[in-house]
Structure 1
């Protein structure tokens, strides 16, 4: 079920074209979003409150984001947080790097607060869902080319997409279902060992270990 949203969160489906975006306004809106998430949570968050805190208008927000879900997603998971690690050539080391990057992505207060309701809103809105999954797809494509240079970045063959699903899915399950369970170094160690023990080489055609 889609979470309740304030009336001022229902704006145009796509940001409108116009003057070049002011980076200072962007940063103020994103910071206000993070701060208000920590103060009042996702459900109570409204674009009017964000605009007031950022010293701007809801119209300015709609010129940049399609609505609350997209704004929150980009505020709690900015591009620098979603960056994938470089491959080292050592399979277990690369798996650990992916698990650690995922921990750093999700183990932050604003993510834990927003994630359950944000997922509900994302699934309920096809346009928002498409925007959100495209961001993860870009990160996965980067990860594929770093760990398996011979792969098709846009393809879904091989083990890499499943690896990403296992790692990210484990983090999301831990946050939503286990709730207070930490994403700590012990989780990184345990998940890395679990995946590595059954992992086949990233080189195509090589038999499992």
Structure 2
């Protein structure tokens, strides 16, 4: 099958995608293992192909570049619907942010995220796809819980949603990116409690 042609920004559409979910999962798992062992710079499609026994053309049909492959591997770890809706907003927010803590402390995501973000800066279309797949979907999940809490009267309704979403997750991402402090459940509790204090009904 011919490979799809490149787009102007270097991204391509993935031809023949998702024909064999088992191959997809094996390649993503191998990619995460490679990232853990060799880091972002040491991970390559050739190495992943060798580890999985999947031919390189089959991988390229699914992921046209290393950046596409690593971006989806990271997305598979971070998840897209992290915040549940139990009716207890604080508990739900802690659960949602807790998935970030788990990902950043139990996998190599926090170590490779800076290099991936730097690479995505030069690939605007892939960057947009990655943000939509990971960050925007996670934010939408949390936004729905905040709106439901506002409708119940648990928090005031007149708040800046985008700022609140930023404020909730920023300390975790900041520490993961710069490594100046540990990413711990205590950080998520401080973030959630600080934000909820500002959202108390007047």
TM-score, L = length of structure 2: 0.78
Which structure is higher in helix share?
2
Residue 120 of structure 1 is matched in structure 2 by: 118
Contact kept, 8 Å, 1:29 with 1:50, in 2: the verdict is yes
- Cα drift, residue 158 of structure 1: 5.0
Partner in structure 1 of residue 188 of structure 2: 188
Question: What corresponds to 2:24 in structure 1?
Answer: 26
Counterpart mapping for 1:134-173 below 5 A: 134-135=132-133, 136-149=135-148, 159-173=160-174
String of CA shifts for 1:113-165, please: whole Å, max 9, x gaps.
211101101122111111101112233223323432599xxxxx953332222
Q: 2:109 aligns with which of 99, 108, 111?
A: 111
Q: Distance in 2 between matches of 1:158 and 1:150?
A: 12
CA contact (8 A) 1:76 1:110 kept: no
TM-score when normalising by structure 1: 0.75
Give CA-to-partner distance per residue, 1:11-53, whole Å, 9 cap, x none.
87121137x6112211111111011111111012111111111
Residues 112/142 of structure 1: CA separation in 2 closer, same or farther (3 Å cut):
closer
Q: Is the 8 A contact 2:30 2:51 kept in 1?
A: yes
- Give every structure 1 segment of 4 or more consecutive aligned residues whose post-TM-superposition deviation is greater than 4 Å: none
Give the direction of change, closer, same or farther, for the CA distance of 1:149–1:55 in structure 2 (3 Å limit). Answer: same
Q: How many residues align?
A: 185
Q: Deviations over 1:84-134 (max 9, x none)?
A: 222233343333233323323433332022111011011221111111011
The CA RMSD measured in Å over matched residues stands at 2.7
Q: Which runs of 5+ in 2 are unaligned?
A: 1-9, 151-157
Query: Is the 2:87–2:149 contact (alpha carbons within 8 Å) kept by the matching residues of 1?
Result: no
